[in-house]
Amino acid sequence: MKIGAFIYGFTWGGATRRLLALLEGFAQRGHDVELVVVDPSGPLANKLPEGVKLYPLHYRLLGPVVKFLPRRQRMSLSKFALARYFQQNRVDIFLSAANHAHITSLSAKILARSTIPFVLRLSSHVSASLKNSRKLAKRLRFHQAKRLYPHADLVIAVSRAVARDLAQTVPISPDKIRVVYNPVYTSELTKQAQQEPDHPWLKDERGRQTPVLLAAGRLRRQKGFDTIIKAVHLANKSRKIRLIILGEGKARPELEALVKKLDMSQLVDLPGFKPNPAAYMARADLFCHASTFEGLPGVVIEALATGCPVVCTDSPGGAREVLEDGLYGLLVPVGDHQAFAQAILEALDTQWDEEKLKSRAEDFSLEQAVNGYLSAFEDVLNNKK
C-alpha cells in the first residue's frame, strides 16, 4: 500500500511526534510511505524515519514569497501546491495528519477533483477548540470544518470523547468516524525515561522531602499553567512544594509575571523547551496537567509510562478516558486552582502503584495504533472498491 501523509512541518509538537511514529510503523510493515510537508525544516527534521520519503511542496511562482509568510498563511496558500501533488502523484490512501492541515488538504482535494481515498486524523475537541471559541478566526474555521470534513472518507478520532463531539457538531455520518488512540507508548519513550534530567531539583529519586511537581507543554492559555501555579502557591501553605514547567510559548511573560506576583521565584522554574521531558517525568513526584480542552493528553500518558502520578483537569476531550474516571489519577474541574491544590496534596499523600500506572500507558502503544490505522485504511479501500 502506498500511503501519503500531510502535515505543516517538523515542529516540536504532539501531532508531529505521533505522526512520525505512525509513519515509521507503516514503513516497518512494508508499506510505501511518503510525507508531504509545507516546511521541510524544524527541530524534528532529523527524525524522519528510515524508509519514509519526504516531499516538500513546490510553489512555482509564489515560492519566493510564500517562504516569508507566517505559518498560517503558508498553510492556506499551500492548497494549490497540494492540489498539484494530488494530480501528479498517485497514492493508495492519503492521511491528513493534524488539525491545522485538514481545511487545506480537503480544499486541495476538491480543487484537484481527486478521488484518492482520504482520511483525517482528528486530535482536538471540535466544540471546545473551534465552535465555542471567542475568537472570530476560530469560529470561521469551525464553519469551514462543517462544510469540508464530510468530504473525507473516514475520520480517525484520537479518543471516544473527540469522536462523540465530532458526530454531534459536524454533519458527518457516525459510520465514517473511528477511534484509534495515539501511539504514545514507544520503546524510544522508555529509553528516554532512563536518562538523567539536567535539573538540580531532580537529582534524587521520587519521595524527596520537598516534592517536585512537573508540568509540560506549549506555553499558551489553553494549557492552564496559570491554574497550576496558583494551585502550587495555595498548596505551599500546607507543605513546601516546587514546580518545574517545561516548554516555550507566547504565555511565558504572563506566567513569569504571575510567579513574581505570588513571590514564588524560588519555588517555580520555567527552564524552557527540553527535548526529553520523559527524563523529568521519571524523577518528578507528581505530574500536573490543567488544559481547558485536549483531544487526548499525550503528556499525561507519557507521565503514566514513567510511573509518575497525575493530577489533571477534567477537560473536554480524552483526559477522563485516559485516567479511566480517576482510577489512574486525580481529576479536578477546569480552572479551579483551589480544587487543584487539594488534589496535589492528596496525590502526594497517596501510595501509587507505579507498575499499574505504567500498564495503563501501554494501552496507548505504537503497535495498537499502527494496527488500528492500517485496519481503517483497508476498510476505506474496500469500501471504495
| Predicted confidence band of residue 73 (pLDDT cuts 50, 70, 90) | confident
- The average pLDDT across 308-337 equals 97
Residue 65 has pLDDT above 80, yes or no: no
Domain 2-183+365-384 matches domain 187-364 at the CATH topology level: yes
Distance CA 352, CA 357 (A): 8
Q: 2-183+365-384, which class in CATH?
A: alpha beta
CB burial of residue 45 (10 Å; 0-12, 13-18, 19+): middle
Contact 298, 18 (CB under 8 A): yes
Compute the C-alpha angle 47/52/54, nearest 5°.
80
CB 106 within 8 Å of CB 152: yes
Q: Report the mean per-residue pLDDT for the chain.
A: 93
Is the pLDDT at 384 greater than 80? The verdict is no
Q: How far is CA 297 from CA 162, 172, 318, in A?
A: 12, 25, 7
How many other CB atoms are there within 10 angstroms of residue 363's CB atom?
14
Pair 231, 344: CB distance under 8 Å: yes
- Is the pLDDT score of 97 beyond 80? yes
- Say what the pLDDT of residue 137 is: 86
Q: What digits encode the pLDDT tens for the residues 37-55?
A: 999 988 889 999 999 999 9
pLDDT given for residue 359 in this prediction:
96
pLDDT value of position 76: 87
Residues 96 and 37: their CA atoms lie apart, in Å, by 11
- CA 17 to the chain's CA centroid: 8
Render pLDDT for 137-147 as a digit per residue (tens, 0 to 9). 888 889 999 99
Q: Where are the beta strands (DSSP E) in 222-345?
A: 242-246, 268-272, 286-289, 310-313, 330-332
- Tell me the pLDDT tens digit for each residue of 316-327: 999 999 999 999
Virtual torsion, Cα 347, 352, 355, 358, nearest 10 deg? -10
Helix, strand, coil % over all residues of the chain, rounded to 5: 50, 15, 35
Cα–Cα dist 311/344, whole Å = 7
The tens digit of pLDDT for each residue in 267-279 reads 999 999 998 999 9
Break the chain into its structural domains and give their ranges.
Answer: 2-183+365-384, 187-364
Of the candidates 45, 37, 164, which has an alpha carbon nearest to the alpha carbon of residue 98? Answer: 37
> Rounded to whole angstroms, how far apart are CA atoms 112 and 56?
18
User: Residue 243: beta bridge partners?
Assistant: 213, 268
Q: Are 123 and 295 in contact (CB under 8 A)?
A: yes
Three-class DSSP category at 78? helix
pLDDT of residue 14: 82
- Looking at residue 71, what is its pLDDT? 81
Q: Given 3.40.50.2000, 3.40.50.620, 3.40.50.1000, 2.30.140.10, which CATH number is that of 187-364? A: 3.40.50.2000
What would the pLDDT profile of 181-198 be if each residue is shown by its tens digit? 999 999 889 999 999 999
Q: What is the pLDDT of residue 13?
A: 80
Band the pLDDT of 63: cuts 50, 70, 90: low
Alpha-carbon dihedral sign for residues 346, 349, 351, 356:
positive
What are the CA-CA distances from residue 318 to residues 90, 289, 327 (Å)? 35, 13, 14
Residue 341 grid cell: 491544590
**pLDDT tens sequence across 285-294:** 999 999 999 9
d(CA 140, CA 145): 9
For residue 211, pLDDT over 90 is answered with yes
Dist. CA 54–CA 40, nearest whole Å: 8
